[in-house]
Structure 1
Amino acid sequence: MTSDLHERSSDEEDTPLAQSGKRRRAAQVTIDEEYDTEDGEYNSDIALSQVSENLNGKTTPEVEEPPKRVRRKVKNETPKKKTTRKLKKIKVESSPKKLTTPKSEEDKSVKEEEDEQEDDGGYKWWEAEKEDDTIKWTTLKHNGVIFPPAYEPLPSHVKLYYDGKPVDLPPKAEEVAGFYAALLQSDHTKNPVFQRNFFDDFLEVLKECGGTLNGIEIKVFSKCDFNKMFEYYELQKEQRKQLSSQEKKQLRLEKEKLEEPYKFCELDGRKEQVGNFRIEPPGLFRGRGAHPKTGKLKRRVYPEDVVLNLDNEAPIPPLPEGQNWGEIRHDNTVQWLAMWRENISNSFKYVRFAANSSLNGLSDFKKFEKARQLKDHIDPIRKDYTKNLKSKIMLERQKSVAIYLIDVFALRAGGEKSEDEADTVGCCSLRYEHVTLKPPTTVIFDFLGKDSIRFYQEVEVDKQVFKNLAIFKRPPKQPGHQLFDRLDPSILNKHLQHYMPGLTAKVFRTYNASKTMQDQLDLIPNEGTVAEKLLKYNAANRTVAILCNHQRSVTKTHAQSVQKASDKIRELEWQKIRLKKAILQLDKKQMKERPKFFEEVEDITKEDEMAIHKRIIEREVEKCHKKFARDNDKRKFENMELLKESDLKEWLDKVEEQRLNFEQELKTGVVELKMASTVEKLDKQIEKLDQRIQNSAIQLRDKEENSQVSLGTSKINYIDPRLSVVFCKKYGVPIEKIFTKSLREKFKWAVESVDENWRF
């Protein structure tokens, strides 16, 4: 075995050993009216509706409503005078500073190329200003949306069977049956709710189509056999997998060519990226958690269902003969390009600008600036809600407890849910059974939060908060009753507006997430390697994710991923021990001079070495076969002469030679060094391996600690991105380690507007 193997980095995964020549580096109701403290009577006759009526408050869903200014474009219409916008400077608190970039020449060139692309005509909206927030744009042109492909009927021999008989289904009904068949072996189809909802909608579509084509009447779900359809879809899936890399590449290029006109729009004369310009395809709704609508049919969306939004002068995107858009609007007070109503929850779906667009960037900027403003008001808010915890007015007590819970434990506000929605709750919609009290001041929260993620926390609360929760739970309340029966989010948010314009319960989550991150980053010492600093950054991010209850289930591949990482570390340790053995072969005196250095030489057993050798050889054999297939795919596509089996055999022979060398080395204990080496050179190689082992161990620890926490949600949506930028600039960490390319584009305003001294 040559010393070359020691130098091979983990980046060489796809290059077989035999082909790697060079090394690579790496309403005010009082308490007395509602609750008599002497006899314990609780008056439930005064309902929330009365409180809301007295306050003139109405609960409104937080959904973007269709714009008020709507009209269809008419031929020969005189266009209105365009709205002009004056620009006003947005303040940035510090001058920008360059981020640490990779040192290698290759990385430098890549970075320079990216910088050139970003600087070329880039619109720095954060250096401009807007006077009128209601006007989002002056001109807007785009090419509409892409609709999912039309349904292709199944071959005549592939059918649904009912009670053992083949059924001829109309295409629309066959498509719906196919949605279920494709999921036949998934966990979804084992869910009785999913089965029932699908079958109800399937029968409805079948009725719309006039029934089956061969007169078979479908009534009972259990008599339906989807196996033939499932087998067909599995065969199609397998055939797609068998496509060569070049064929897949060709299909991808064709898809990109089709999508190219829809990827960008013209906003106020400049090119901006569009977000998701595809209409959602039909299918079966799955939902998250125990969703009551799981399995229902998401119906196909047609052009007649879609409303487009563009300026008066923009050309209307064409459609095939006989098709028309549902409506054309010219509303420059909204940020969407197209919308339609989906049938599952009867809500609107929107095509918006991409995350890196100037309008979305401005929206993010305002959101985090609003959270920063809260720090100037948080003390009086806390003082007031602490005082009102003892208020004689029940509504005031409930508001105070709710704000306390939202502020201290980052609970979402919550809201009303209809019976056909998932039973998820927030602070204002907590019920009797969601809160358990353990004297003197322990509270156990147990409920399903957003996306049906369980919120379970056992916490210590203020003594008066505990007392109030006990009052809120007193008879005649019982499981199913609202804990905050005088309160809803609209009342709470209206109350918060008195402290600060635009303040809502949601702002508290953003504020507390960013404030917590700032406090955590302040604790990180500016020392150690980049990997060590990243570990501390992720630990800070994890603290925020836990605060916000951003959980995730352990992925199915987690155990396999951890095992692979552990094996990698063990291989690196073996390489290091092997090099130390080589040093002793060159100079036996080294053992006496550095006894501690060579202590680990005896730590590895022959069984461990054999297992490592086996993994290496198996991996190399697999790489040879993959390279052979990949190269031949490419050659075939380019009409070149194909590699022969003899070429593959030549590669495999070299791997076999390596296997024999391993056997010999294990037998004799002598390390074969192909290249002339010195003790000094081997020491340097060992030093590099130590660094790689340390970094790999840190990454493995990070992977295990983050297995059940979603860091991305808090990092992208709740932590001010400028904090991450400051961390990178202050600690010398490349921004690429924190933000992906798409996130660097999304948060370009943050990257370029602060230096290392900026604070949230």
Structure 2
Amino acid sequence: MSITLKDDSSSDDEDVVLKRVSKGDKQTKKKLKRVKKELSDGDDSDEDEEIVHAAKKKQKKLKKEKEDAVLRNTNGNGDSNGKVTGRLKVKKERKEKKEKTKKIKKEEVSNEDDEDKNLADIASETPFQSSARASSIELKESSEDFKWWENGDKEDDTIKWTTLKHNGVIFPSTYEPLPAHVKLYYNGKPVDLPPQAEEVAGFFAAILESDHVKIPTFQKNFLHDFLQVLKENGGARNGVQIKEFGKLDFTKIFEYFQVQKEQKKQLSPQEKKQLRLEKEELEKPYKFCEIDGRVEQVGNFRIEPPGLFRGRGAHPKNGKLKRRVYPEDVVLNLDKEAPIPEPPKGHKWGEIRHDNTVQWLSMWRENISNSFKYVRFAANSTLKGMSDFKKFEKARMLKDHIDKVRTDYKSKMKSPKTLDRQMAVATYLIDVFALRAGGEKADDEADTVGCCSLRYEHVTLRPPNTVVFDFLGKDSIRYYQEVEVDAQVFKNLKIFKRPPSGPGHQLFDRLDPSILNKHLQNYMPGLTAKVFRTYNASKTMQDQLDLIPNEGTVAEKILRYNAANRTVAILCNHQRTVTKGHASSVQKATERIEELEWQKVRYKRAILQLDKSERKKNQNYFKEIDDLTKEEELTIHKRIIEREREKYKRKFERENEKRKFSKEDPIPDSQLLEWLAKVDDLEKLYERESTTGKIELRESLQNLEKLKQNVEKLEKRITNCSLQLKDKEDNSTVALGTSKINYIDPRLSVAFCKKFDVPIEKVFTKTLRDKFRWAIESADENWTF
């Protein structure tokens, strides 16, 4: 047995290294903790995130240096002396223990005969999970690892699946009648309603303060359906005859609902969490299905509850009753060998199908427009991903045919056949201005139009070549654009508007979407008017991204990316109304910037206190000190103090609610008083500074370099906040999400992030990252549409 002797000096050196590294590690941890706290308090600027990233990186580096030092301090046999050896040994034992535990857990999960498996878990398993318990880990892994986009054949075949198992749908809860003293009143008299009619009356009462109930069409449709339900269930029990809407009084029901709503608001966070957990437990069996041996997520597995229809815009069916859906109305789709889910007690399913050529799990017909509603796979599922991929690839294919399409419709602009001219102009409008194809609408549908269904009054011509479009598009969103068109297009539109054509007449009277789409198939298989919107949206985004310089901060790059996205949204007419909280959100952001500006001025004043000669060196640097008025400063002080007091009061309430839920003793009032005393001290500090003009900073900041560094950090933060505010205001009336999710190829966003070193989280939410996983993993920084 040989013994390796260690050089004592070497050991001392390694101990020095360890001490240095440990000290650095502690400092990094403190910095990381401080920045994370700032982030949790609302400072979510890009600069802070970059600090966190850098600190984590440094922490990792220090940890490795520490390990290397420990290893160097160990002899060849693994024997060592002193504290270092102890640390290494403990660390090694911990690692071995962790790996052993991990291995045991894996073996326990994979063993189908594991007698120690929790019975509650087994009870909550879905039928297909229960039958496949032995291979549950394999199923999960195959779902996560199945990268269909790496396969050679990405085409969506007719057969969508071979095996399909799921647990059906969740039905809305049954109606609970109102208390006996809560009544609908008619002409001052209480009405004793049967439960079915009472539920419908409650639907109206619940939205009594909304704008919908003021619409005559809404009132008329509601009254018609309400009286019908009342008649079906034997009328009012106390014989009250309801005939006029104006004599109905829903106040008592509305007030009861308001009380219920307030009681829900008064629930503690723990009680709300408990309710949420109970809801999640109930929904768990329905959230996933098994398709071809993979566990995939289901989209909306809930049956829509009954209520009153609230369509967008002046929809003729506003206020009509959406009737309750029962299991007898529902069709389930599974494979032939799959266990059929149990319907609610006392009911049976409408039909069980085994159709593997469709991508839905269940369906039912709703009564408003007599159309089908479907439960489909979730947005992040394999089949939905394949469908998205195919859609964007088809749009990419169009770039190889677009020149031919454009040449052809330009040549047909002067055709002697009216149909050819209308086809050419319609294709031009769809291609250049991204109009939807449009289609005929029934009398009981909203009067929304697209290109093919444009009427005489929707288009105004202004010589020499300006066209004004003004009509209601999809979802009753107004499309208003003044555009310049080719001379021949203008001339043709003028011909289409000639007498006897007038208001109410179709502009393209010989054309409809089916004729147009059939014609487009001649240029490219699968080409429809909709493909043009996807193509033009993605092409426009590509062109806009190509103009962005690879410079500036992450916030500046995101601002430019959103500007590109906004260009596409405007092209596609993706508008939205300004949200109710927009004004307060803008005010809050503006006040935050003001506070940062004040803090910057405060630090600059502190710099001059330490060295007055600094002003002579750079007068512009200190110019803003004089721009901040006394009144503005006092307003900022007051706002900060009020916010701090409110923060501690909320913290006190929140902590006591937690303790109450956990049946612990509450925090004494003295703790709150101690917290508020700190705020009082801060208020006095600000008052002294305001009175004397002398800045009182902690000792660690009594340093010129540190103060200048803090000023620089604040300037970056102000820039980032200002950019975010500008972005917020620019996007207030434009819906960026619609174009980003449905029309812009997600690989463009991925390529932008990779090329410009922008975190993908800044562009895609967690939901979108799951949905577009195929794009994130398949596109690199050089990918182009």
Normalising by the smaller structure, the TM-score range is 0.7 to 0.9
Asked if 1:127 is matched to 2:150, the reply is yes
Secondary structure (helix, strand or coil) at the match of 2:145 reads: coil
User: How high is the sequence identity, in percent, across the aligned residues?
Assistant: 72
Secondary structure (helix, strand or coil) at the match of 2:719 reads: helix
Are the structure 2 counterparts of residues 120 and 385 from structure 1 closer, same or farther at C-alpha, using a change threshold of 3 Å?
A: closer
Query: What's the counterpart of residue 551 of structure 2?
Result: 527
Residues of 1 paired with 2:769 and 2:143: CA distance? 16
Asked if 1:728 is matched to 2:679, the reply is no
Does the 8 A contact of 2:439 with 2:513 survive in 1? Answer: yes
Query: What's the counterpart of residue 321 of structure 1?
Result: 345
Does the 8 A contact of 2:298 with 2:376 survive in 1? Answer: yes
Are the structure 2 counterparts of residues 140 and 103 from structure 1 closer, same or farther at C-alpha, using a change threshold of 3 Å?
A: farther
TM-score using structure 2 length? 0.83
When Rg is computed on C-alpha atoms for both structures, the one with the higher figure is 2
Query: What's the counterpart of residue 416 of structure 1?
Result: 440
Asked if 1:244 is matched to 2:244, the reply is no
Residues of 1 paired with 2:58 and 2:388: CA distance? 30
Asked if 1:336 is matched to 2:360, the reply is yes
State the shift of 1:387 in Å.
0.4
**Structure 1 stretches of 5 or more lacking a match?**
18-23, 27-100, 110-116
Secondary structure (helix, strand or coil) at the match of 1:567 reads: helix
Q: Which amino acid aligns with 1:747?
A: F
If each structure's helix is expressed as a fraction of its own residues, which one has the higher value? 2
**From 422, 431, 435, the counterpart of 1:407:** 431
Does the 8 A contact of 1:16 with 1:621 survive in 2? Answer: no
Query: What's the counterpart of residue 579 of structure 2?
Result: 555
Query: What's the counterpart of residue 696 of structure 2?
Result: 672
Q: Which amino acid aligns with 2:350?
A: G
Are the structure 2 counterparts of residues 589 and 132 from structure 1 closer, same or farther at C-alpha, using a change threshold of 3 Å?
A: closer
**Structure 2 stretches of 5 or more lacking a match?**
1-29, 61-139
Residues of 1 paired with 2:35 and 2:318: CA distance? 46
State the shift of 1:121 in Å.
3.9
Secondary structure (helix, strand or coil) at the match of 2:620 reads: coil
Asked if 1:141 is matched to 2:165, the reply is yes
Residues of 2 paired with 1:174 and 1:107: CA distance? 65
Does the 8 A contact of 1:14 with 1:623 survive in 2? Answer: no
Secondary structure (helix, strand or coil) at the match of 1:218 reads: coil
Q: Which amino acid aligns with 2:184?
A: L
State the shift of 1:481 in Å.
0.5
Are the structure 2 counterparts of residues 670 and 131 from structure 1 closer, same or farther at C-alpha, using a change threshold of 3 Å?
A: closer
Query: What's the counterpart of residue 660 of structure 1?
Result: 684
State the shift of 1:587 in Å.
1.2
Instruction: Map Cα deviations across residues 104-145 of structure 1 (whole Å, 9 max, x no partner).
Output: 539999xxxxxxx99984211112346771000000000000
Residues of 1 paired with 2:57 and 2:351: CA distance? 51
Query: What's the counterpart of residue 289 of structure 2?
Result: 265
Residues of 1 paired with 2:668 and 2:440: CA distance? 68
Are the structure 2 counterparts of residues 104 and 679 from structure 1 closer, same or farther at C-alpha, using a change threshold of 3 Å?
A: closer
Residues of 1 paired with 2:730 and 2:567: CA distance? 11
Does the 8 A contact of 2:593 with 2:721 survive in 1? Answer: yes
Are the structure 2 counterparts of residues 436 and 734 from structure 1 closer, same or farther at C-alpha, using a change threshold of 3 Å?
A: same
Query: What's the counterpart of residue 92 of structure 1?
Result: none
Asked if 1:165 is matched to 2:189, the reply is yes
Q: CA RMSD of the aligned region, Å?
A: 2.0
Aligned ranges 1:376-415 → 2 under 5 Å:
376-415=400-439
Q: Which amino acid aligns with 1:302?
A: Y
Instruction: Map Cα deviations across residues 46-92 of structure 1 (whole Å, 9 max, x no partner).
Output: xxxxxxxxxxxxxxxxxxxxxxxxxxxxxxxxxxxxxxxxxxxxxxx
State the shift of 1:708 in Å.
0.7
Query: What's the counterpart of residue 750 of structure 1?
Result: 775
Asked if 1:208 is matched to 2:232, the reply is yes
**From 505, 511, 514, the counterpart of 1:487:** 511
Instruction: Map Cα deviations across residues 720-760 of structure 1 (whole Å, 9 max, x no partner).
Output: 00000000010000000000011001000000111111110
Greater RCO structure (CA 8 Å; 6+ sep): 1
Query: What's the counterpart of residue 56 of structure 2?
Result: 105
**From 695, 699, 714, the counterpart of 2:739:** 714
Residues of 2 paired with 1:104 and 1:418: CA distance? 63
Q: Which amino acid aligns with 1:313?
A: E
Query: What's the counterpart of residue 663 of structure 2?
Result: 639
Asked if 1:223 is matched to 2:247, the reply is yes
**From 637, 645, 662, the counterpart of 1:613:** 637
Does the 8 A contact of 1:16 with 1:623 survive in 2? Answer: no
Query: What's the counterpart of residue 693 of structure 1?
Result: 718
State the shift of 1:224 in Å.
0.6
In the alignment of these two chains, the number of paired residues is 668
Residues of 2 paired with 1:622 and 1:513: CA distance? 47
Query: What's the counterpart of residue 462 of structure 2?
Result: 438
TM-score using structure 1 length? 0.86
Does the 8 A contact of 2:455 with 2:504 survive in 1? Answer: yes
Are the structure 2 counterparts of residues 190 and 120 from structure 1 closer, same or farther at C-alpha, using a change threshold of 3 Å?
A: closer
Does the 8 A contact of 2:380 with 2:770 survive in 1? Answer: yes
Residues of 1 paired with 2:286 and 2:246: CA distance? 44
State the shift of 1:639 in Å.
1.7
Aligned ranges 1:29-44 → 2 under 5 Å:
none
State the shift of 1:321 in Å.
3.2
**From 669, 674, 694, the counterpart of 1:650:** 674
Are the structure 2 counterparts of residues 149 and 107 from structure 1 closer, same or farther at C-alpha, using a change threshold of 3 Å?
A: farther
Asked if 1:589 is matched to 2:613, the reply is yes
Query: What's the counterpart of residue 375 of structure 2?
Result: 351
Residues of 1 paired with 2:344 and 2:57: CA distance? 48
Query: What's the counterpart of residue 41 of structure 1?
Result: none
Asked if 1:253 is matched to 2:285, the reply is no
Residues of 1 paired with 2:693 and 2:445: CA distance? 68
State the shift of 1:594 in Å.
2.1
Query: What's the counterpart of residue 498 of structure 2?
Result: 474
**From 536, 541, 555, the counterpart of 2:565:** 541
Residues of 2 paired with 1:107 and 1:539: CA distance? 35
Residues of 1 paired with 2:619 and 2:536: CA distance? 53
Are the structure 2 counterparts of residues 556 and 240 from structure 1 closer, same or farther at C-alpha, using a change threshold of 3 Å?
A: same
Secondary structure (helix, strand or coil) at the match of 1:350 reads: strand
Query: What's the counterpart of residue 177 of structure 1?
Result: 201
Are the structure 2 counterparts of residues 572 and 278 from structure 1 closer, same or farther at C-alpha, using a change threshold of 3 Å?
A: same
Does the 8 A contact of 2:289 with 2:298 survive in 1? Answer: yes
Q: Which moved more, 1:657-666 or 1:457-466?
A: 657-666
Aligned ranges 1:62-73 → 2 under 5 Å:
none
Are the structure 2 counterparts of residues 487 and 547 from structure 1 closer, same or farther at C-alpha, using a change threshold of 3 Å?
A: same
Secondary structure (helix, strand or coil) at the match of 1:598 reads: helix
State the shift of 1:228 in Å.
0.2
State the shift of 1:11 in Å.
6.7
Does the 8 A contact of 2:156 with 2:386 survive in 1? Answer: no
